[in-house]
Structure 1
C-alpha cells in the first residue's frame, strides 16, 4: 500500500487534503452528481460548481426551457463552453449534466485540466430517483423508464472512460458517498494529497 492509498479516515487533524485539479462528477441523471459533489466540496473545503446552474444563470432560463426553445445541439454547445471556462478556474468540485461526458471535446478538456469521477448507479436506483421529477427533458417521452434504460445502455461505455469509477449502492448516505469519492481520489496524488497542516 503506497502512502497515497489511504482512506480519508486516516487523515488526522494534523493533516489536510489539498486539491490540485478540478474534480468533475460525471454519470447519469439521478446518480447524485450534484448532491455528492456538494458534500465532497465541503469535505475538501473547496468551491462547488454545477455546469447546468452556470448555463441557466448565463441564459436566464432553465435547462428544460433551453432544450424546448433552442434544442439539444444548442444546449450542448453552450455546455461545452461553460465546462471549458470552469476548468480554467481554480481547482474545485464540478458537477456536470448527464450528457456532458459523451462529448469528446468535453472529455479531452476534463482529461487535460481535471479528473473525471463516474458515479456508477444501476438503472433501478436511477429510476427511483428521477421518476417523480418533470425537470428531465430527455425523459419527457411516452415511456420514460424505457427511455432511461436506453440512455444508460448508450452512455455507460462513454462513462467507463472516466479516470475513476465509484459505485453507488444503496443505502449509502450522501456523506458516505463523498468519502468514497475522496478515498478513490487519494490514489491520485496528482489530484488530491494529504499534507501536513
Structure 2
C-alpha cells in the first residue's frame, strides 16, 4: 500500500540574500536539530525547514503513520525526494531526519550542495530527550535506550563522513550552542574544513 502526498509545484523559494550556501543539520533524533536550526536561521536571517515536517505537510499525516502504511523503505523514498528538492535551495537552514544519512544518494546531496553540521550528543542525553516521545516509530521497542545506542553506532560514521562542522550539544542551552556554532560556521566558510567543538 502507498500513500498519495500532495506536492506544490507552484511554490517558489523565497528570494535569499546573495545565494548563500545552504546549511544542513544532521544528527540523531533528539539532538536538537529543529530547535537549534530554527534559532540559527533566525540569527542568520535565513529560511528554516525541518525535512520531516515538510514530508508530513505534504502527506497530511505524521511520520509514524507513513511508517505504518509504507514501512521504513517507503518513508525513506519520500525523504530522498524531498531532500533532493530542499538541498537545491540557496540560503536555507535545513534540519534533516536522523536517518537521512543512511542513503548514499542523500549523503552525496548533502556533501555536494551545502555546509553540513553534525550535531552530536551521547546516548544518555538522547534517551533523556526522546524517551517520552510517542511519535518516534524507530523507538517502538522494549528497550528504546538500547535502540538509540544501536542507531548511534550505525549512523555516527555516516554523520562524520558528511560533516563539515561537528558540534557537541550535550545539555547546553540553545543560546550557548549557537554561540559555539556561529564561529565554527564562519571558519568553515573561510576555508577551514571539518571544524569540531
Distance in 2, matches of 1:146 and 1:19, equals 42
- Cα offset for 1:115? 1.4
Partners of 2:141 and 2:112 lie apart in 1 by: 36
SS at 2:187 equivalent: coil
Deviation, 1:74, is 0.8
Moved over 3 A (4+): none
For 2:47 and 2:175, how far apart are their aligned partners in 1?
16
Q: Distance in 1 between matches of 2:148 and 2:39?
A: 26
Q: Name the SS for the 1:107 alignment partner.
A: helix
* Pairs aligned (count): 174
Q: TM-score, normalised by structure 2?
A: 0.84
Contact 1:18 1:44 in 2 (8 A): no
Shift of 1:176: 1.7
**What is residue 164 of structure 1 aligned with on the other side?**
165
Question: Which runs of 5 or more structure 2 residues have no equivalent in the other structure?
Answer: 1-16, 192-197
Q: CA deviation at 1:128?
A: 0.6
**Structure 1 unaligned spans of 5+:** 1-16, 192-197
Shift of 1:190: 6.2
Secondary structure of 2:61's counterpart equals coil
Alpha-carbon displacement from aligned partner over 1:28-77 (angstroms, at most 9, x marks no partner): 00100000000100111111001101101111111000001111111111
Between the two structures, name the one with larger relative contact order (CA 8 Å, sep ≥ 6).
1
Which structure has more strand as a fraction of its residues?
1
Contact 1:26 1:159 in 2 (8 A): yes
TM-score of the superposition, structure 1-length normalised?
0.84
Distance 1:137 1:27 in 2: 17
Q: What is the DSSP-based 3-state SS (H/G/I as helix, E as strand, rest coil) of the residue aligned with 2:188?
A: coil
Report the Cα distance in structure 2 between the residues aligned to 1:90 and 1:168, rounded to whole angstroms.
Answer: 26
